[in-house]
Structure 1
Amino acid sequence: MEIDFKNIKVIGFDADDTLWVNETYFRQAEEQVGILLSHYETPNKIDQELFRMEIKNLPIYGYGVKGFILSMVELAIELSNGTVSNEIIGKILDIGKEMINKPIELLDGVEETLQTLSRQYRLILATKGDLLDQERKLEKSGLLDYFHHIEVLSEKQEANYSKLLKHLDISPSEFLMVGNSLKSDILPLVNIGAQAIHVPFHTTWQHEKVSKKETNGITYKTAESLTEILSYFKLKN
């Protein structure tokens, strides 16, 4: 089925791992915590237990580095039966602070793509995570001026997107979402009648993975890079 973007008025972009590097830093932090807590468990078991802790805490802390830090601390206390040292807790907190203070590493072609599309379309940023952290990253990225609207969502589900489109005063058929997560950026949009372009990142959090069954029959485009999506539009010179 050919996908036509001629009715699109607004293009939404995910932030983390679509515009800039993010998940890589979480994987690095997990490795560091695995080393710190290796006295209590194997690295593989620590990874499994940390994921379990993160999912358990999502309704409380939401997404982002701060919730991740708290889950790491809670895991350290749990695995050690409450005997973990203040020194290790301090090192876990330092890992989190280092993540928050990472420089923004834009992915290839981001600025060129936003600059080109912003001449013809209204662009918005639709991301999830900690509000303060996402605002900080956007400010440091230098991309703020390309976006007409910024939306930090607690979840990226159909109801959240429908509410966003209502706020933007556009119909689903006039909206296109670009993102790296099939679960968060693609499937919910297609399900409400919008369009989507999947731009995969080389690392995906386990919570964001979907099965082939879930994507079966879902119509969306896939691009290897952000600049590749420019070829999908009839752009004016």
Structure 2
Amino acid sequence: MTLSTIGFDADDTLWQNERFFRMTQDRFAELLSDHTEPGALQARLLEAERRNLGHYGFGIKGFVLSMIETAIEVTEERVPASVIAELIATGREMLRHPIELLPHARDAIEALAPHHRIVLITKGDLLDQERKLAQSGLGDLFDAVEIVSHKSPATYGTVFARHGDGPARAMMVGNSLRSDVIPALEAGGWGVFVPHPLTWELEHAVAPTDHARFRELPDLGALPDLVATLDG
């Protein structure tokens, strides 16, 4: 059964994203260095992010709110207003940061687009994801764009039915095992894992290496040949 639809994740699959979060976290640690050491601060921030996902969703705005909440907690509500102001400013800077495409992103999509429906499936803040897509220069290559609040088997089933022939003839490509690969496999599709060295901790999971439809590639440059093999 040949593939008809290929879905791509956006952040840290097509362009850099987590690197800017890590840079901001380093600055966060500097600002709170008088109150706690970096390792403990990172653990508290990650817990706040995990706790707040259901309230704020994914993206920079929720990240900034989690940093502010963590700053209030570790300083026992004594964090200076100047620190809060700088955290807000760093969030705005992240929202303005230029897009940097990852290697082979454009070439892979251009190679696959003539014979497959190409869909961007990403989660996060709507305005920020739209901004990044517009700045990436890749927007015209996609047949559809889906910005979702959560990536689940039901999400992929719906998206691949809407923009293709269902998940059985679809593939999802991304750097997150938890969000991009495993739920796509559970929906009945193919899941292709393209690791990124800075993938967010909350997106980690055990690779389903025994699944017949799981594949792992070193980068997007190998994707067209994999698709050709499966289509052949």
TM-score (norm. length: structure 1): 0.92
The CA deviation at 1:233 is 3.1
Moved more, 190-199 or 62-71: 190-199
The CA deviation at 1:157 is 1.1
Identify the residue that residue 180 of structure 2 maps to in structure 1: 185
For the residue of structure 2 that corresponds to 1:107, the secondary structure is coil
* Residue 148 (str. 1) matches residue 143 (str. 2): yes
Q: Tell me how far apart the structure 2 counterparts of residues 41 and 149 of structure 1 sit (CA, whole Å).
A: 45
* Residue 66 (str. 1) matches residue 53 (str. 2): no
For the residue of structure 2 that corresponds to 1:7, the secondary structure is coil
Identify the residue that residue 94 of structure 1 maps to in structure 2: 89
Q: Tell me how far apart the structure 1 counterparts of residues 45 and 156 of structure 2 sit (CA, whole Å).
A: 29
- Structure 2 gaps of 5+ residues are none
Identify the residue that residue 133 of structure 1 maps to in structure 2: 128
Give the AA of the match of 1:224. Answer: P
Identify the residue that residue 3 of structure 1 maps to in structure 2: none
Q: Tell me how far apart the structure 1 counterparts of residues 69 and 17 of structure 2 sit (CA, whole Å).
A: 22
For the residue of structure 2 that corresponds to 1:119, the secondary structure is helix
Pick from 13, 18, 23: which aligns with 1:23?
Answer: 18
Identify the residue that residue 196 of structure 2 maps to in structure 1: 201
Verify the 8 A CA contact 1:7 1:173 in the aligned structure 2: no
Q: Count how many residue pairs are aligned between Structure 1 and Structure 2.
A: 229
For the residue of structure 2 that corresponds to 1:152, the secondary structure is strand
Runs of 4+ off more than 4 Å: none
* Residue 111 (str. 1) matches residue 72 (str. 2): no
* Residue 217 (str. 1) matches residue 210 (str. 2): yes
Task: Mark the CA change 1:159 to 1:17 in structure 2 (over 3 Å): closer, same or farther.
Answer: same
Verify the 8 A CA contact 2:58 2:124 in the aligned structure 1: yes
For the residue of structure 2 that corresponds to 1:218, the secondary structure is coil
Verify the 8 A CA contact 2:5 2:164 in the aligned structure 1: no
% identical aligned pairs: 38
* Residue 36 (str. 1) matches residue 31 (str. 2): yes
Give the AA of the match of 2:210. Answer: G
Give the AA of the match of 1:233. Answer: V
Q: Tell me how far apart the structure 2 counterparts of residues 146 and 169 of structure 1 sit (CA, whole Å).
A: 16
For the residue of structure 2 that corresponds to 1:207, the secondary structure is helix
Verify the 8 A CA contact 2:59 2:124 in the aligned structure 1: yes
Give the AA of the match of 2:192. Answer: I
The CA deviation at 1:72 is 0.6
Q: Over aligned residues, Cα RMSD in angstroms? A: 1.5
* Residue 78 (str. 1) matches residue 62 (str. 2): no
Give the AA of the match of 2:130. Answer: E
Give the AA of the match of 2:172. Answer: M
Q: Tell me how far apart the structure 2 counterparts of residues 169 and 186 of structure 1 sit (CA, whole Å).
A: 18
For the residue of structure 2 that corresponds to 1:177, the secondary structure is strand
The CA deviation at 1:228 is 0.9
Q: Tell me how far apart the structure 1 counterparts of residues 83 and 58 of structure 2 sit (CA, whole Å).
A: 23
Verify the 8 A CA contact 2:117 2:164 in the aligned structure 1: no
Verify the 8 A CA contact 2:13 2:194 in the aligned structure 1: yes
For the residue of structure 1 that corresponds to 2:228, the secondary structure is coil
Pick from 40, 47, 50: which aligns with 2:45?
Answer: 50
The CA deviation at 1:168 is 2.4
- Structure 1 gaps of 5+ residues are 1-5
